[in-house]
Amino acid sequence: MSKVRVIGDETGNVINQSATNPDYGYVRVENVKTTIDDNGFLRKRSISTLIQGHIEDLKSEGYFSGQELSGKIVVLESLTPFNKKNPERDIKQAGNTGIVCTLGGEPIYRKTLYTLSSNAEDVFIKHDNVEQIRNAFGGVKTSAVNAEAFTAEPLALS
């Protein structure tokens, strides 16, 4: 597992002020996750999340660009919205198709979270609207790499 790193902007600033409340802000962190899918295919991908808090608390932590942090970033998926006031915010979509990933017709919600807990694990929900998503990608099954991005079932390649 790679280290979690603090990400700064082009000038190295890491604390970003909330657009709606100047007392609050966030720091963006990321790491690279290595996964092996059900077909044995290895993939590395960057995943990021925000550490949110009071501006003064964030400043007191002394975050700097490139800093390595203990902990990890986990992916959480749920059939219940994480944000009751703005449930659309965390809806999981299939790439840039605009198609919502669903299970039994219900939308899947997805968020990332930085945690210091070594016991925290990713929680994934496999969507069942595979045909709809496959059709959005033109129904083309060109490779396991391409197909695996939007299906949980092995594909018969022709």
Q: For residue range 11-29, what is the model confidence (pLDDT) as tens digits?
A: 989 999 999 999 999 999 9
User: Residue 147 pLDDT > 70, yes or no?
Assistant: no
Q: Residue 154: its pLDDT value, please?
A: 39
What's the pLDDT tens digit per position in 82-96? 999 999 999 999 988
Mean pLDDT, the chain, rounded, equals: 87
Q: Residue 141: its pLDDT value, please?
A: 53
Q: Residue 113: its pLDDT value, please?
A: 96
Beta bridge partners of 4: 69
Q: Of the spans 31-40, 55-64, 135-144, which averages the highest pLDDT?
A: 55-64
The larger pLDDT score, comparing residue 68 to residue 156, is at 68
Inter-residue long-range contacts of 35-42, CB under 8 Å, 24+ positions, other chains counted:
37/148, 38/152, 38/154, 39/144, 39/148, 39/154, 41/144, 41/145, 41/148
Among 27, 122, 18, which Cα is nearest to 67's? 27
User: Residue 135 pLDDT > 90, yes or no?
Assistant: no
- Mean pLDDT on 120-126: 93
Q: What's the full length of the chain, in residues?
A: 158
